[in-house]
Amino acid sequence: MNDVAALPRVTYSNIAEDFSGVHAHFGKVIAEMRDRQLGLERPNHLGGRDNTEGTAYDAPCPIDRRLSLGRFFAASPAEVDRAVTAAKAAQRGWRALGWPRRVALARKAADLLEAQKFEVAAACLLEVGKSRMEALGEVEEAIDLIRFYAAEMEASNGFRRDLARANPREETFDVLRPYGVFAVIAPFNFPVALSAGMSICALIAGNTVVFKPSPMAGLTGRLLTDCLIGAGLPEGVFNLVCGGAETGAALAANPDVDGIAFTGSHAVGMRMMREFGAGGSHARPVLAEMGGKNPTYVAASADLDTAVSGVLRSAFGLQGQKCSAGSVAFLHETLAGAFLDRLGAAASAVVVGDPCERETFIGPLISQAALERFENSLRQARAAGGTVLGGEVLSGGLCDHGAYVRPAIVTGLPDDHALHRDELFLPFLTVRTFSDLGDAIRRGNAVPYGLTAGVYTGDAAELESFLETAEAGVLYANRASGATTGAWPGIQTFCGWKGSGTGSKGGLGAWYLPQFMREQSHTIMR
Ligand code: NAD
C-alpha cells in the first residue's frame, strides 16, 4: 500500500515523470479488474438502498465486445420518480447540515476515490477504451475536482456576504441557496471526472442528486456512487439510476427536479433547455456542457514539430472522442505540404489496439454506431472529392471484437462541406488551407460550436489576433501536448461558448459552483 501511495500522480503537469512503477502496478490492477470485476450485477441506488427493479441489460466492453462490463438496470419512470422523491425528502436535512459539513463529506469522498484510484481507472479504461495514461489522468482529475470545488466553497465562506446598510438598525446580507433536487446526466467519454464534477458541485451547494451515467458507463457510475455513499452521505442525498435516453428523459420530465447538470451532445442539451429549462411555469437551470468542432490554426511562422505533435494528440487522442478534440486543422498554404507529410507519418505510426497495453495510443471506438459513423464520414469525404489518408478499419484478432480504426486525415473537401462543421466525435481530422490567418479564424468561427481552439505561431501579432477573435471558451497556443485539448481544475477553465454550452461560466474554475445555487437577499431590522 505504501509503495503504491508513493507512485507519481498522472496529472496535467507531470507528464515527463518516469511512470514505469505506475505501469507495473496498473497492469496488475487492469488484469484483476478484467478477470474478477467484470460481468457482475451493479444495482442502482435509490433512497439509501440498492435497487435492481429496472430492465436488466449487459453493457459490452468496447475493447472486446464478448466481455460484459456488468449487468445494469435501466430505471423505468416509476423508479426514477422514486429516486426523485427520495432526493426531495432528503434535501431539507442536507441543506440544514450546513456547507462546512457538506465540504467535509466531499473531501472524504475524494479520499476514498484516491484510495481506489487504480481500480476506478482500470474500470474507466475497460469501459471507455481509453489509454492507460488517459484513464489514470481522468481519475486524478476527478479527485482534484472534488477538492477544488470544496476549497472554492470554503474560500467563498459558503457564498454568504454582508451587504451595505442604509439604516443602522438594518442587518443585510446576501447568500446563495441551493435549488433543491438536481439531475446529473453524464456522457460516456469522461465518465469519472465529469460525473464527479457535476455531482459534487450540486451536493456541496446543498442540493440532493439523482445521477444518471451514460448507459455505457454504469460501472464507473456505480464505483463513484460507492465513494460518495461510503463517505457518509445521508440516505437519499445521492441516488443512482442507470439507463439510456428513456431514463434520462423520465428524469428531465419529473416536476420535482429543480435543475439539470448535463454534459453531452448538442442535440440532447438543447432539447433539455427547451423542454426542461423553459418548458414549465418558471425557468429552471440547465447547466449544459455540449459538443465542439474545434479548429487549430498553423501559421507560417509555426514550429512544425510542436504543431504536428499538438494536432496529432488533440485530433486522435481518445479516438477523437473528446468534446475538445481538434477536429479541423487550418494550415498556412506555405507549410501545408510539409505539415501533412509529417502528420501523416506520425499518424500512421501510432499504436492502435488494446488500451490495456502500455504502448497503445488509440483504443477502440465506443460502439458499432460510432464505427458506422466513421465509415459513413469516409464515404461522404470521398464522394465530395476529398483525399483520405489512413482511415482503415482494422480486422483480425481483437479487432474482430471491437471497432478499431486507424485515424483519418481528410484533405481537399469543399470549404463549405458539412464534415468541416459537424461534430463527428471520431479520429477524423479535416484539413483546410489559408493565406491570411484572420480570414482562417473567421472560417473556423463559422460553426455552431465554440468550445476550444488552438494556434501555432511564432508571431506575436498573430497570437494576439487569435486570442482576440477566436470564438471559443478555451484557447491554447503553441502546445505540443495538445492543440485544443487538456484542462485541469484551477488551471484551465472549460466554458463552452455558442452551441457548446448553455451557461456563460464553465467547469474547472471559480464560477461553476455558484451556478448550482440561487441568490437570496436578507434584510432584518434589529
Ligand atoms: P449523449 O448526448 O448521447 O448522452 C449524454 C447523456 O444524456 C447520456 O447519459 C444519455 O443517456 C443521456 N440522454 C440521451 N438522450 C436523452 C434524452 N432525450 N433525455 C435525457 N437524457 C438523455 O452524449 P454522449 O455520446 O454520451 O457523449 C458525447 C457528447 O458529449 C459529445 O457531443 C461531446 O462533445 C459531449 N461532451 C461535452 C463535454 C464538455 O465539457 N463540453 C465533455 C464531454 C463530452
Q: What is the pLDDT of residues 241-260, one digit of tens each?
A: 999 999 999 999 999 999 99
Per-residue pLDDT band at 18 (split at 50, 70, 90): confident
Question: CA dist 228 to 37, 42, 215, 220, Å?
Answer: 20, 16, 20, 12
State mean pLDDT over 335-351.
Answer: 97
The answer, yes or no, to whether residue 188 has pLDDT greater than 90, is yes
Question: What is the atom index within ligand 1 of the atom nearest the CA of 185?
Answer: 9
Check 323, 423, 462, 495 and give the catalytic one: 323
- 289 belongs to the catalytic site: yes
Which numbered atom of ligand 1 lies nearest the CA of 291?
34
Judged against a pLDDT cut of 60, whether residue 1 lies above it is answered with no
pLDDT > 90 in the chain, percent: 96
Q: What's the pLDDT tens digit per position in 305-316?
A: 999 999 999 999
The confidence score (pLDDT) of residue 16 equals: 64
The atom of ligand 1 lying closest to the CA of 214 is 9
Contact of 517 with 175, CB cutoff 8 Å: no
Q: Compute the distance from residue 413 Cα to the ligand 1 centre, in Å.
A: 28
DSSP string, 466-487: HHHH--SSEEEES-SS-SS---
Q: How far is the CA of 417 from the centre of ligand 1 (A)?
A: 25
Given a cut of 60, whether residue 120 has pLDDT beyond it is yes
pLDDT, position 95: 98
Handedness of CA 259, 493, 105, 4 (dihedral sign): positive
Q: Which three cell numbers stand for residue 198?
A: 457535476
Name all residues whose Cβ lies below 6 A of ligand 1: 185-190, 194, 212, 214-215, 244-245, 248-249, 252, 263-265, 268, 289-292, 323, 423, 425, 451, 494, 496, 500
Q: Across the chain, what does the average pLDDT equal? A: 96
Catalytic residue among 114, 289, 423, 462: 289
- The mean pLDDT value for 186-194 works out to 98
pLDDT of residue 503: 86
Closest CA to 431 of 446, 452, 409, 448: 409
Specify the residue with its C-alpha closest to ligand 1, atom 24: 187
Residue 417 has pLDDT above 60, yes or no: yes
Query: Ligand 1 centre and the CA of 268: distance in Å?
Result: 7
Spatial distance between the Cα atoms of 356 and 151, rounded to a whole number of angstroms: 35
Distance 271 CA to ligand 1 centre (A): 12
Q: Which atom of ligand 1 is nearest to the CA of 244?
A: 11
Residue labelled with grid coordinates 469501459: 127
Q: Residue 17: which pLDDT band, with cuts at 50, 70 and 90?
A: confident
* Average pLDDT rounded to a whole number, residues 59-77: 98
CA 492 to chain centre: 14
Mean pLDDT in residue range 496-514: 95
Give the ligand 1 atom nearest the CA of 190: 43
pLDDT given for residue 7 in this prediction: 85
Please list, in sequence order, all residues whose beta carbon lies within 8 angstroms of the beta carbon of residue 383, skipping any fewer than 6 positions away: none
The pLDDT value given to residue 15 = 64
Residue nearest to atom 26 of ligand 1 (CA): 187
pTM for the whole structure: 0.97
Average pLDDT over residues 438-442: 98
Over the stretch 263-311, which tens digit does the pLDDT of each residue have?
A: 999 999 999 999 999 998 999 999 999 999 999 999 999 999 999 999 9
Substitution site in 323, 492, 502 for ligand 1 pocket (most atoms within 8 Å of beta carbon): 323
Do residues 199 and 207 lie in contact, with contact meaning Cβ atoms separated by under 8 Å? no
* Percentage above 70 pLDDT, the chain: 99
The sign one gets for the Cα dihedral 462, 467, 468, 470 is positive
Spatial separation of the C-alpha atoms in residues 391 and 405, rounded to whole Å: 6
Ligand 1: centre distance to CA 128 (Å): 14
- Ligand 1 centre from 23 Cα, in Å? 31
| pLDDT at residue 526, as a whole number | 92
Answer yes or no: is pLDDT of 3 > 80: no
